[in-house]
Amino acid sequence: MSTSRNRIILDCDPGRDDALAIAMALASSAEIDLAGITAVAGNVPLEVTYRNARFLRELCGFPDLPVHAGAARPLVRELETATRHHGESGLEGVEVEMPARPIESHRAVGYLAETLEASGDQEITLVAIGPLTNIALLAVERPELMAKIREIVVMGGASTAGGNVTPAAEFNVWADPHAAAVVFECGRPLIVHGLDVTHQVLAAPRHAERLAGTGGEVARRLAPLLHPAAGSRGDRFGPDRSPIHDPCTIAWLIRPDLFATESVAVAVESEGTHTLGETVVDWWGVTGRAPNARWVTEADGEAVLALLTDRIAKL
Ligand code: RIB
Ligand code: CA
Protein backbone atom coordinates (compact mmCIF):
# COMPACT_ATOMS: atom_id res chain seq x y z
CA MET A 1 0.00 0.00 0.00
CA SER A 2 1.47 3.39 -0.82
CA THR A 3 0.16 6.80 0.11
CA SER A 4 -0.57 9.83 -2.08
CA ARG A 5 2.54 11.83 -3.03
CA ASN A 6 4.03 13.76 -0.11
CA ARG A 7 5.71 17.11 -0.78
CA ILE A 8 8.33 17.37 1.94
CA ILE A 9 11.18 19.49 3.24
CA LEU A 10 13.79 17.37 5.02
CA ASP A 11 15.54 19.00 7.98
CA CYS A 12 18.60 16.98 8.92
CA ASP A 13 22.08 16.74 10.43
CA PRO A 14 23.92 14.31 8.11
CA GLY A 15 25.01 12.12 9.84
CA ARG A 16 25.24 8.51 8.78
CA ASP A 17 21.58 7.54 9.04
CA ASP A 18 20.47 10.93 7.72
CA ALA A 19 22.38 10.15 4.51
CA LEU A 20 20.40 6.94 4.05
CA ALA A 21 17.16 8.87 4.61
CA ILE A 22 18.13 11.51 2.03
CA ALA A 23 19.00 8.87 -0.58
CA MET A 24 15.82 6.88 0.15
CA ALA A 25 13.67 10.01 -0.26
CA LEU A 26 15.37 11.01 -3.51
CA ALA A 27 14.90 7.48 -4.85
CA SER A 28 11.16 7.46 -4.06
CA SER A 29 9.77 10.14 -6.38
CA ALA A 30 6.48 8.28 -6.85
CA GLU A 31 5.62 8.80 -3.20
CA ILE A 32 7.87 11.69 -2.16
CA ASP A 33 8.40 15.09 -3.77
CA LEU A 34 11.49 16.29 -1.90
CA ALA A 35 11.24 20.09 -2.31
CA GLY A 36 14.47 20.79 -0.47
CA ILE A 37 16.80 20.09 2.42
CA THR A 38 17.65 22.26 5.42
CA ALA A 39 20.75 21.45 7.45
CA VAL A 40 21.13 21.89 11.20
CA ALA A 41 24.01 21.39 13.61
CA GLY A 42 23.72 18.12 15.48
CA ASN A 43 25.68 14.97 14.78
CA VAL A 44 28.52 17.18 13.57
CA PRO A 45 28.91 20.97 13.30
CA LEU A 46 26.74 22.87 10.80
CA GLU A 47 29.50 23.44 8.26
CA VAL A 48 29.86 19.66 8.04
CA THR A 49 26.15 18.78 7.96
CA TYR A 50 25.66 21.47 5.29
CA ARG A 51 28.61 20.17 3.27
CA ASN A 52 27.31 16.60 3.56
CA ALA A 53 23.78 17.53 2.44
CA ARG A 54 25.25 19.25 -0.64
CA PHE A 55 27.57 16.28 -1.29
CA LEU A 56 24.68 13.81 -1.02
CA ARG A 57 22.41 15.67 -3.45
CA GLU A 58 25.20 15.51 -6.03
CA LEU A 59 26.07 11.88 -5.28
CA CYS A 60 22.40 10.92 -5.71
CA GLY A 61 22.11 12.85 -9.00
CA PHE A 62 20.07 15.88 -7.86
CA PRO A 63 22.58 18.77 -8.02
CA ASP A 64 19.81 21.39 -8.31
CA LEU A 65 17.93 20.30 -5.17
CA PRO A 66 17.70 23.34 -2.85
CA VAL A 67 19.88 22.91 0.24
CA HIS A 68 20.01 25.61 2.89
CA ALA A 69 22.02 25.83 6.10
CA GLY A 70 20.22 26.72 9.33
CA ALA A 71 21.13 26.89 12.97
CA ALA A 72 24.75 26.39 13.97
CA ARG A 73 23.81 25.78 17.62
CA PRO A 74 20.80 24.93 19.79
CA LEU A 75 18.40 27.62 21.04
CA VAL A 76 19.79 27.70 24.59
CA ARG A 77 22.26 24.87 25.21
CA GLU A 78 25.80 24.80 23.82
CA LEU A 79 26.25 22.53 20.80
CA GLU A 80 27.23 18.99 21.73
CA THR A 81 27.85 16.79 18.70
CA ALA A 82 27.91 13.02 18.18
CA THR A 83 31.18 12.99 16.26
CA ARG A 84 32.23 9.88 18.21
CA HIS A 85 29.43 8.00 16.43
CA HIS A 86 29.45 9.65 13.00
CA GLY A 87 33.16 10.47 12.56
CA GLU A 88 34.71 13.88 11.91
CA SER A 89 33.31 13.75 8.36
CA GLY A 90 29.82 12.95 9.72
CA LEU A 91 29.66 10.10 7.19
CA GLU A 92 32.18 7.67 8.59
CA GLY A 93 32.67 4.82 6.16
CA VAL A 94 31.79 6.88 3.08
CA GLU A 95 34.27 8.54 0.74
CA VAL A 96 33.07 12.16 0.86
CA GLU A 97 33.93 14.59 -1.92
CA MET A 98 33.69 18.36 -1.65
CA PRO A 99 30.48 19.41 -3.45
CA ALA A 100 31.00 20.91 -6.88
CA ARG A 101 28.16 23.42 -6.45
CA PRO A 102 29.12 26.51 -4.45
CA ILE A 103 27.59 27.33 -1.06
CA GLU A 104 24.14 28.82 -1.62
CA SER A 105 22.54 30.10 1.51
CA HIS A 106 22.50 30.09 5.24
CA ARG A 107 18.85 30.90 5.45
CA ALA A 108 17.04 27.65 6.19
CA VAL A 109 14.25 29.33 8.16
CA GLY A 110 13.72 31.81 5.31
CA TYR A 111 13.54 28.94 2.84
CA LEU A 112 11.06 27.05 5.03
CA ALA A 113 8.92 30.20 5.37
CA GLU A 114 9.02 31.07 1.67
CA THR A 115 8.12 27.53 0.65
CA LEU A 116 5.19 27.46 3.07
CA GLU A 117 4.02 30.92 1.94
CA ALA A 118 4.04 29.76 -1.69
CA SER A 119 2.28 26.45 -0.92
CA GLY A 120 -1.36 25.60 -0.50
CA ASP A 121 -2.72 24.72 2.93
CA GLN A 122 -1.71 21.28 4.27
CA GLU A 123 0.50 20.70 1.25
CA ILE A 124 3.95 20.57 2.88
CA THR A 125 5.13 17.92 5.32
CA LEU A 126 8.22 18.69 7.37
CA VAL A 127 10.44 15.71 8.08
CA ALA A 128 12.86 16.47 10.93
CA ILE A 129 15.63 13.99 11.62
CA GLY A 130 18.08 16.10 13.59
CA PRO A 131 17.83 18.52 16.51
CA LEU A 132 14.65 20.58 16.06
CA THR A 133 16.31 24.01 16.17
CA ASN A 134 15.36 25.12 12.62
CA ILE A 135 11.73 24.04 13.02
CA ALA A 136 11.46 25.78 16.39
CA LEU A 137 12.90 28.99 14.91
CA LEU A 138 10.26 28.83 12.17
CA ALA A 139 7.53 28.44 14.79
CA VAL A 140 8.87 31.37 16.83
CA GLU A 141 9.64 33.74 13.94
CA ARG A 142 6.68 32.91 11.65
CA PRO A 143 3.94 31.38 13.84
CA GLU A 144 1.26 32.27 11.29
CA LEU A 145 2.81 29.85 8.79
CA MET A 146 2.66 26.79 11.04
CA ALA A 147 -1.01 26.16 10.19
CA LYS A 148 0.03 25.57 6.57
CA ILE A 149 2.12 22.52 7.53
CA ARG A 150 0.34 19.21 6.85
CA GLU A 151 2.27 17.31 9.53
CA ILE A 152 5.71 17.10 11.09
CA VAL A 153 7.36 13.67 10.95
CA VAL A 154 10.08 13.56 13.60
CA MET A 155 12.87 11.13 14.34
CA GLY A 156 13.48 11.79 18.00
CA GLY A 157 12.62 10.95 21.56
CA ALA A 158 12.31 7.73 23.47
CA SER A 159 9.95 6.25 26.04
CA THR A 160 9.93 2.49 26.63
CA ALA A 161 13.34 2.13 24.91
CA GLY A 162 15.21 4.47 27.23
CA GLY A 163 17.64 7.07 25.97
CA ASN A 164 20.79 6.75 23.85
CA VAL A 165 22.66 9.77 25.23
CA THR A 166 21.43 9.64 28.83
CA PRO A 167 19.19 7.01 30.41
CA ALA A 168 16.28 9.37 29.78
CA ALA A 169 17.03 11.14 26.50
CA GLU A 170 17.50 10.46 22.80
CA PHE A 171 20.15 12.55 21.00
CA ASN A 172 18.00 14.81 18.77
CA VAL A 173 15.78 15.94 21.64
CA TRP A 174 18.64 16.05 24.18
CA ALA A 175 20.80 18.19 21.85
CA ASP A 176 18.14 20.93 21.76
CA PRO A 177 15.38 20.21 24.29
CA HIS A 178 14.09 23.79 24.20
CA ALA A 179 13.54 23.54 20.45
CA ALA A 180 11.88 20.15 20.87
CA ALA A 181 9.55 21.61 23.51
CA VAL A 182 8.51 24.38 21.07
CA VAL A 183 7.84 21.90 18.26
CA PHE A 184 5.95 19.42 20.45
CA GLU A 185 3.68 22.28 21.56
CA CYS A 186 3.29 23.90 18.11
CA GLY A 187 -0.14 22.38 17.50
CA ARG A 188 0.61 20.67 14.19
CA PRO A 189 0.10 16.90 13.76
CA LEU A 190 3.25 15.11 14.90
CA ILE A 191 4.34 11.63 13.88
CA VAL A 192 7.16 10.69 16.26
CA HIS A 193 9.64 7.93 15.41
CA GLY A 194 11.54 7.54 18.66
CA LEU A 195 13.99 4.89 19.75
CA ASP A 196 10.99 2.76 20.76
CA VAL A 197 10.51 2.01 17.08
CA THR A 198 13.93 2.62 15.54
CA HIS A 199 15.41 -0.04 17.81
CA GLN A 200 13.16 -2.49 15.92
CA VAL A 201 14.95 -1.65 12.64
CA LEU A 202 18.29 -3.36 13.18
CA ALA A 203 20.74 -3.62 10.30
CA ALA A 204 23.14 -6.55 10.22
CA PRO A 205 26.17 -7.07 7.95
CA ARG A 206 23.95 -9.00 5.52
CA HIS A 207 21.87 -5.88 4.96
CA ALA A 208 24.97 -3.84 4.10
CA GLU A 209 26.21 -6.62 1.82
CA ARG A 210 22.85 -6.80 0.05
CA LEU A 211 22.79 -3.04 -0.51
CA ALA A 212 26.38 -3.05 -1.78
CA GLY A 213 25.58 -5.94 -4.08
CA THR A 214 22.58 -4.36 -5.82
CA GLY A 215 24.84 -2.99 -8.53
CA GLY A 216 24.09 0.70 -8.04
CA GLU A 217 27.02 3.05 -7.48
CA VAL A 218 25.19 5.10 -4.82
CA ALA A 219 24.15 1.89 -3.06
CA ARG A 220 27.73 0.65 -3.12
CA ARG A 221 29.07 3.90 -1.68
CA LEU A 222 26.41 4.24 1.04
CA ALA A 223 26.29 0.55 2.05
CA PRO A 224 28.93 1.04 4.80
CA LEU A 225 26.40 3.25 6.60
CA LEU A 226 24.42 0.12 7.45
CA HIS A 227 27.36 -1.23 9.46
CA PRO A 228 27.63 -0.17 13.12
CA ALA A 229 29.75 2.96 13.50
CA ALA A 230 33.16 2.58 15.09
CA GLY A 231 32.04 4.53 18.13
CA SER A 232 28.81 2.63 18.68
CA ARG A 233 28.21 1.15 22.06
CA GLY A 234 29.19 -2.50 21.87
CA ASP A 235 26.57 -4.97 20.84
CA ARG A 236 23.50 -3.90 22.85
CA PHE A 237 21.44 -5.17 19.91
CA GLY A 238 23.47 -8.29 19.19
CA PRO A 239 26.73 -8.76 17.33
CA ASP A 240 27.18 -6.26 14.50
CA ARG A 241 23.53 -5.12 14.70
CA SER A 242 22.78 -1.41 14.63
CA PRO A 243 19.52 0.54 14.70
CA ILE A 244 18.73 2.55 11.58
CA HIS A 245 16.92 5.63 12.89
CA ASP A 246 16.27 8.38 10.33
CA PRO A 247 15.12 6.25 7.35
CA CYS A 248 12.09 5.17 9.44
CA THR A 249 10.53 8.57 8.74
CA ILE A 250 10.88 8.10 4.97
CA ALA A 251 9.65 4.51 5.11
CA TRP A 252 6.59 5.81 7.00
CA LEU A 253 5.73 8.19 4.16
CA ILE A 254 6.06 5.40 1.59
CA ARG A 255 4.57 2.47 3.52
CA PRO A 256 2.73 3.58 6.68
CA ASP A 257 1.30 0.06 6.86
CA LEU A 258 4.72 -1.13 8.07
CA PHE A 259 4.22 0.77 11.32
CA ALA A 260 1.83 1.01 14.27
CA THR A 261 1.16 4.22 16.20
CA GLU A 262 -0.64 5.39 19.33
CA SER A 263 -2.05 8.88 19.92
CA VAL A 264 -0.54 10.20 23.13
CA ALA A 265 0.26 13.39 25.01
CA VAL A 266 4.04 13.96 24.99
CA ALA A 267 5.91 16.60 26.96
CA VAL A 268 9.61 17.46 26.63
CA GLU A 269 11.74 17.95 29.75
CA SER A 270 13.93 21.01 29.13
CA GLU A 271 15.44 21.41 32.61
CA GLY A 272 16.01 18.15 34.60
CA THR A 273 19.44 17.27 35.94
CA HIS A 274 19.03 13.60 35.10
CA THR A 275 16.14 13.88 32.67
CA LEU A 276 17.06 16.80 30.38
CA GLY A 277 15.67 16.01 26.91
CA GLU A 278 13.32 13.27 28.07
CA THR A 279 10.14 12.85 26.04
CA VAL A 280 7.58 12.13 28.74
CA VAL A 281 4.79 10.06 27.18
CA ASP A 282 1.45 9.99 29.02
CA TRP A 283 0.53 6.39 28.08
CA TRP A 284 -2.37 6.18 30.55
CA GLY A 285 -3.82 9.70 30.11
CA VAL A 286 -3.15 10.59 33.74
CA THR A 287 -2.28 14.21 32.92
CA GLY A 288 -5.58 14.91 31.19
CA ARG A 289 -3.57 16.59 28.40
CA ALA A 290 -4.97 16.15 24.90
CA PRO A 291 -2.82 13.95 22.64
CA ASN A 292 -0.33 16.02 20.62
CA ALA A 293 1.45 13.21 18.79
CA ARG A 294 1.10 9.87 17.09
CA TRP A 295 3.90 7.89 18.74
CA VAL A 296 5.24 5.16 16.46
CA THR A 297 5.30 2.01 18.57
CA GLU A 298 6.06 -0.81 16.13
CA ALA A 299 7.77 -1.43 12.80
CA ASP A 300 8.37 -4.39 10.52
CA GLY A 301 12.12 -3.88 10.66
CA GLU A 302 13.06 -6.31 7.91
CA ALA A 303 10.50 -4.78 5.56
CA VAL A 304 11.79 -1.28 6.29
CA LEU A 305 15.36 -2.36 5.53
CA ALA A 306 14.23 -4.14 2.34
CA LEU A 307 12.42 -0.96 1.24
CA LEU A 308 15.52 1.14 1.97
CA THR A 309 17.67 -1.25 -0.07
CA ASP A 310 15.28 -1.53 -2.98
CA ARG A 311 14.90 2.24 -3.25
CA ILE A 312 18.55 3.28 -2.86
CA ALA A 313 19.51 0.58 -5.39
CA LYS A 314 17.59 2.60 -8.00
CA LEU A 315 19.90 5.64 -7.75
O1 RIB B 1 19.24 9.33 18.20
C2 RIB B 1 19.34 9.12 16.81
C3 RIB B 1 19.29 10.42 16.07
O4 RIB B 1 20.38 11.24 16.47
C5 RIB B 1 19.46 10.25 14.54
O6 RIB B 1 18.76 11.28 13.89
C7 RIB B 1 20.92 10.41 14.33
O8 RIB B 1 21.23 10.90 13.02
C9 RIB B 1 21.23 11.47 15.35
O10 RIB B 1 20.92 12.74 14.78
CA1 CA C 1 19.90 12.66 12.24
Q: Is the CB of 245 under 6 A from ligand 1?
A: yes
Would residue 218 count as lying in a domain? yes
**Probe ligand 1: pick from 11, 13, 232, max atoms within 8 Å of CB?**
13
Q: Residues 202-220: what's their mean pLDDT?
A: 96
> What does pLDDT average to over the chain?
95
Cα 162–Cα 164–Cα 169 angle in degrees, nearest 5? 65
Would residue 165 count as lying in a domain? yes
Would residue 1 count as lying in a domain? no
Would residue 258 count as lying in a domain? yes
Q: Is the CB of 130 under 6 A from ligand 1?
A: yes
195 or 1: which leads in pLDDT: 195
What is the DSSP code string of 251-306?
HHHH-GGGEEEEEEEEEE-SS-TTTTTBEEEETT-TT-PPP-EEEEEEE-HHHHHH
pLDDT attached to residue 2: 45
Which residues have beta carbons under 5 A from ligand 2 (an ion)? 13, 15, 18, 129-130, 246
276 or 239: which leads in pLDDT: 276
pLDDT attached to residue 191: 98
Full domain range(s) for residue 181: 6-312
- How do residues 273-307 score in pLDDT, each as one tens digit? 999 999 999 999 999 999 999 999 999 999 999 99
Would residue 84 count as lying in a domain? yes
Give the domain CATH number at 123: 3.90.245.10
Name the percent of the chain lying above pLDDT 90.
90
- How do residues 81-123 score in pLDDT, each as one tens digit? 999 889 999 999 999 999 998 887 879 999 999 999 999 989 9
183, 136 Cβ separation under 8 angstroms? yes
Would residue 287 count as lying in a domain? yes
250, 21 Cβ separation under 8 angstroms? yes
pLDDT attached to residue 238: 82
**Signed CA dihedral, 166, 170, 174, 177: sign only:** negative
Q: Is the CB of 269 under 6 A from ligand 1?
A: no
Distance 288 CA to ligand 1 centre (A): 30
pLDDT attached to residue 4: 67
Position 3 pLDDT exceeds 60 = no
The torsion of the CA quartet 138, 142, 144, 147, rounded to 10 degrees, works out to -10
Greatest CA span in the chain, whole angstroms? 54
For 64, the enclosing helix (H) or strand (E) is none
Would residue 206 count as lying in a domain? yes
- Ligand 1 atom closest to the Cα of residue 17 is 8
> Which residue has a Cα nearest atom 1 of ligand 1?
171
Number of domains, the chain: 1
pLDDT attached to residue 1: 42
pLDDT attached to residue 105: 81
Which of helix, strand or coil describes residue 128? strand
Q: Residues 236-258: what's their mean pLDDT?
A: 94
pLDDT attached to residue 231: 65
Number of H helices, E strands in the chain: 12, 11
Give 233's pLDDT tier (boundaries 50, 70, 90).
low
**Probe ligand 1: pick from 12, 18, 132, 237, max atoms within 8 Å of CB?**
18
Would residue 46 count as lying in a domain? yes
